[in-house]
Structure 1
Amino acid sequence: MLVLLLLIWKNKFKWCVFSLCGNQSSAGGIIAFRYTDLVRATKSFSEKLGGGAFGSVYKGVLSDSKITIAVKKLDGASQGEKQFRAEVSSVGLIQHLNLVKLICFCCEGDHRLLVYEHMLNGSLDGHLFKKSYNAAFLSWSTRYQITLGVARGLSYLHQSCHKCIIHCDIKPENILVDSSYVPKVADFGLATFVGRDFSRILTSFRGTAGYIAREWLSGVPITPKIDVYSFGMVLLEIISGRRNSSAGTSHDASSSSSYKHDEFFPVQAINKLHSGDVRSLVDPQLHSDFSLEEVERVCKVACWCIQDSEFDRPMMGEIVRVLEGLREIDMPPMPRFLAAIMEQSGAATSM
């Protein structure tokens, strides 16, 4: 890999050009802005778009180009610094239709800000779970294209970059959709890199409850298959249009005793898939306006993705081919974890 870093001071900023060589090549620029420029662009951070554990996101406009931007303002804690470095070093060096684009950043004094292209339609969770009154309802064809786009983005991260990039936090909140509902994987603050000479890496536990692969909880070195697991959980939520677990149900993936099988959607999904009744799993607001063949395909993929063993889960490149209709997929077995939930629920009912 040849990495060419050209620094040219021009008025208020540095221009950085990165050239990457691999299966695919990309070249792009990242501008380093002054803090005062971003204060002006966001009107003193007056319009908040959202927030997370490490900071908040604000809407802004670049005065010269009139481009609408989303500015992530990270806090000054060490975790904020780690997230800043992780995002600049990962998404700053890659370009893909289904990965959010980092336009510029600010690293001035204690200020750490990341500037992204603004996604007009926000994040996927807002549409699936109707988190705002103006959230658009997603048709099945739109949902299917979102699943395929996210799969392509993750396949690129895992298999086409110079180093494998594991996102580590795939969930609907980190999938943005543009004006045409093209999905963009976002928020690389927890991302980690694995050299092509290695198959796994030991990293501290992180991520979001409900989307975490169970092997990560045991402390073993991780592989890209943790993203595959999270992707499978997201697919089930895309099918149903609701969270996999109710608000009052625990997400402790280390123990099946904290789940009730009638409240945990993955249990219902694998049961209905095996009985040939995937139609009943689909978001009722779609009113039968969907492709049953595509629903079954997505459900099969999802249930393969959430298998207990990472070795039983497919790679993202394989998933892309299945979703594109270029490869058939077998019926997935019942994961042991889900079987344990059913068994414990049955035992509790008989008492």
Structure 2
Amino acid sequence: MGLLFGFFWALALFCTCSFSLSPDGKTLLEMKSALNDSKHFLQNWIETDPTPCNWTGITCYLHDQTVHSINLPYMQLGGIISPTIGKLSRLQRLAFHQNSLHGSIPSEIKNCTGLKALYLRANYLQGSIPPELGSLSNLVILDLSSNSLRGSIPSSIGFLTHLRFLNLSTNFLSGEIPSVGVLRYLKNNSFTGNLDLCGLQVQKLCRASMGFPVVLPHTDSNSGEGVSAVPTKRLSHYLNGVLIGAMSTMGLALIVLLSFLWICLLSRKGKLGKKYLKVDKQLDQDTGAKLVTFHGDLPYSSHEIVKKLELLDDDDVVGSGGFGTVFKMVMDDCSAFAVKRIDKTREGSDQIFERELEILGSIKHINLVNLRGYCRLPSSKLLIYDYLSLGSLDHFLHEHGQEELPLNWNARLRIALGSARGLAYLHHDCCPRIVHRDIKSSNILLDKSLQPHVSDFGLAKLLVDDEANVTTVVAGTFGYLAPEYLHSGRATEKTDVYSFGVLLLELVTGKRPTDPSFVKKGLNVVGWMNTLVGENHLEEIVDKKCMGIDVETVEAVLDIAARCTDANPDNRPSMNRVYQILEEEVMSPCPSEFYDTHSDC
């Protein structure tokens, strides 16, 4: 009997040891305890499992079952990121974006030495950027945008030699951006929306570089005490008193001088501000023309800008958009801007013009075209945008670009992802929300690094609340329009999703939605795609000029396009969901190569 009891006790002990949760699993449960999982997405994270590898959002290495990645975006998670994250030493991807996390970024994350991708954007994270992030030598992607981070950018970030993508935009960061390592070569897109940042990267002069000290000198009140004998101590006190008095006088004089200079600068800045707001009366005494700029983005006087605007002619035309002709305006320092001329006689243009200014003037996003300002002249209304050197995706994809710089598969994926991110921002992060209504390849503009920027959403209707979420004016371009929009003229976010699905098909096929090869068969691009997919003719769908094709990601993109172009708008995903799927299923397999448009993944 005792032998039998011993056998069962040993068996129970064996089972307990065999099925106890792994160390990484215990760490994840500690992290869960610091999170507020209000929607119960993490309810299958339970301690009775031997391994966390089947838990929501968790993937593991096959050979030892340690955690490889944590993918928990869009989960409505609250709480904080637990410092125990540092115990996951083999973690390569951490994705907590689009949640409601608060608190600071734990410095213990430095112990995740294998980390390659860190996504924490669109939360409520506070505090400063931990300098310890510079210890993550394998980091390729760092996205901390759209939080409440403050303080300076640690110079240690610049020494992340593998870093290919950095986004610190839309925070409250301040001070000079370090010009070290990879930080030296980053552009304004990585820092947009941090109004107190300065440096070459954002083309904003820092006060320190103008001769002002960043920190005023100070003294240590405890220095010199308890060191020598009494007589020496008295002499020391006397000398210290003289020295402190002298330094105080000098400091006071310096403060007065700085205050005087600062008042002068503010006064000059105010005068410059007035010059930006109105055209010099000597130029427009009779017409009352007005120039307005947003965020101080145009470092020129009104006289310089208006003079250049008046010189624009047919030789400067670079295209035409939904509202009029687009010109290229080149300033004396060779900076270029795109100027969209609105026809004053166009019906409804006054209302559209004012609404576009109200919307675009307040929006800055890495994947939206930046409106710098506008000018009202007697004969026309002019919008001033950033000039994007490679023009539209339509022109680049279908005309000159294929021979000069072919769009390989990775480049197309990058364009798809960035366009989805910009459109998702309009739908979900703007208040009130914005429906674009004319998503198409000619409204996706490319900069010199092939970063996409969604343009021409001035016709967007503002969605004031959930009860008024439709518009009734038909706009858009044939081939991209959702069927219900054509029939009813009612535009919602889901009509934009349909148009984006068509855009995905355009990137895959290299054909415009109105291409004769399927229009003559009585099909649109969606019907043509569905027919070929049903017949398993994938090779006929993919653009033959596209290099570096990966069959698995092509199928994933086609699946997303099919869901976006579903005939029933209720079955279409939101743009946030589309962006999430693209990021997880398309970008995740090879993030380092994804940002190199000339390499194959």
Contact kept in structure 1, 2:437 and 2:475, CA below 8 Å: yes
Equivalence map 1:262-301=2 (5 Å): 264-286=524-546, 289-301=548-560
- Amino-acid identity (%): 33
Shift of 1:73: 1.1
Equivalence map 1:314-325=2 (5 Å): 314-325=573-584
Q: Which runs of 5+ in 2 are unaligned?
A: 1-268, 278-290, 587-601
Does 2:518 align with 1:260?
A: no
Measure, in 2, the Cα distance between the counterparts of 1:220 and 1:60: 36
- Structure 2 match to 1:179: 448
Please identify the structure whose Cα radius of gyration is greater: 2
- Structure 2 match to 1:342: none
Which of 4, 8, 12 pairs up with 2:275?
12
- Structure 2 match to 1:238: 507
Output the amino acid matched with 1:148.
L
- Structure 2 match to 1:78: 346
Shift of 1:83: 3.9
Contact kept in structure 2, 1:123 and 1:174, CA below 8 Å: yes
Equivalence map 1:80-95=2 (5 Å): 80-95=349-364
Measure, in 1, the Cα distance between the counterparts of 2:476 and 2:544: 30
Match of 1:50, SS state, is: strand
Q: Are residues 272 and 44 of structure 1, via their aligned partners in 2, closer, same or farther at CA, if it must alter by over 3 Å?
A: closer
Q: Are residues 166 and 35 of structure 1, via their aligned partners in 2, closer, same or farther at CA, if it must alter by over 3 Å?
A: farther
Paired residues, number: 301
Contact kept in structure 1, 2:497 and 2:574, CA below 8 Å: yes
Output the amino acid matched with 1:73.
R
Does 2:305 align with 1:37?
A: yes
Measure, in 1, the Cα distance between the counterparts of 2:384 and 2:301: 9
Q: Are residues 51 and 319 of structure 1, via their aligned partners in 2, closer, same or farther at CA, if it must alter by over 3 Å?
A: same
- Structure 2 match to 1:146: 415
Measure, in 1, the Cα distance between the counterparts of 2:353 and 2:301: 14
Structure 1, residues 172-230: CA drift from partner, whole Å, max 9, x if none? 00000001000000012321110234362232111111111111223264311111011
Does 2:487 align with 1:188?
A: no
Contact kept in structure 1, 2:396 and 2:402, CA below 8 Å: no
Shift of 1:270: 1.8
Does 2:491 align with 1:222?
A: yes
Structure 1, residues 64-90: CA drift from partner, whole Å, max 9, x if none? x64211111111123443442242122
Measure, in 1, the Cα distance between the counterparts of 2:468 and 2:531: 33
Match of 2:396, SS state, is: helix
Q: Are residues 107 and 304 of structure 1, via their aligned partners in 2, closer, same or farther at CA, if it must alter by over 3 Å?
A: same
Contact kept in structure 2, 1:245 and 1:265, CA below 8 Å: yes
Measure, in 2, the Cα distance between the counterparts of 1:54 and 1:224: 22
**TM-score, length-scaled by structure 2:** 0.46
Q: Are residues 296 and 166 of structure 1, via their aligned partners in 2, closer, same or farther at CA, if it must alter by over 3 Å?
A: same
Equivalence map 1:120-139=2 (5 Å): 120-130=389-399, 136-139=405-408
Measure, in 2, the Cα distance between the counterparts of 1:12 and 1:111: 20
Output the amino acid matched with 1:270.
N
Structure 1, residues 243-269: CA drift from partner, whole Å, max 9, x if none? 12335987xxxxxxxx725x6332232
Contact kept in structure 1, 2:389 and 2:448, CA below 8 Å: yes
Deviating above 6 A after TM superposition, structure 1's stretches of 4 or more consecutive aligned residues are: 15-18, 30-33
Output the amino acid matched with 1:13.
Y
Does 2:368 align with 1:109?
A: no
Shift of 1:50: 0.7
Which of 467, 471, 492 pairs up with 1:198?
467
Measure, in 2, the Cα distance between the counterparts of 1:199 and 1:292: 42
Measure, in 1, the Cα distance between the counterparts of 2:456 and 2:373: 15
Equivalence map 1:161-176=2 (5 Å): 161-176=430-445
Measure, in 1, the Cα distance between the counterparts of 2:393 and 2:303: 30
Shift of 1:99: 0.3
Q: Are residues 326 and 128 of structure 1, via their aligned partners in 2, closer, same or farther at CA, if it must alter by over 3 Å?
A: closer
Shift of 1:127: 1.7
Contact kept in structure 1, 2:427 and 2:575, CA below 8 Å: yes
Output the amino acid matched with 2:538.
V
Q: Are residues 317 and 305 of structure 1, via their aligned partners in 2, closer, same or farther at CA, if it must alter by over 3 Å?
A: same
Output the amino acid matched with 2:540.
S
Output the amino acid matched with 2:383.
L
- Structure 1 match to 2:319: 50
Contact kept in structure 1, 2:553 and 2:585, CA below 8 Å: no
Shift of 1:100: 0.4
Shift of 1:277: 3.8
Measure, in 2, the Cα distance between the counterparts of 1:144 and 1:224: 22
Does 2:561 align with 1:302?
A: yes
Match of 1:187, SS state, is: coil
Moved more, 152-161 or 276-285: 276-285
